[in-house]
Amino acid sequence: MSEDKVAVYISKDLYEEIKKRVDSSGGEFKSVEEYVEFVLSEIVKEEEEEEFEYSPEEEEKIKERLRGLGYL
């Protein structure tokens, strides 16, 4: 294990289950460790979407566009 990695323990049953998938992955994953790291890193990836609030002017402009089309 390289120095920038730490050990995490999982149940043996889960380990065996993942190992079966690694074996049948056709080489996409070389080890249980690689599989687990891939799945967990996908889960904890940070979403980069920002919260956005419309200003009253923007809200009015949107309504104006809807009125212009005869929707409101």
Cβ proximity to other proteins: between 8 and 69 the closer is: 69
Contact 35, 17 (CB under 8 A): no
At 22, list the tokens. 């690694």
Give yes or no for residue 34 binding other proteins (CB under 8 A).
no
Cβ 3 to other proteins shortest distance, Å: 27
Q: Which two tokens stand for residue 10?
A: 């999982």
Question: In 10 A of CB 2, how many CB atoms?
Answer: 4
Provide the binding-site residues for other proteins, judged by CB under 8 A: 21, 25-26, 28-29, 35, 38-39, 42-43, 47-50, 52, 54, 57-59, 61-66, 68-72
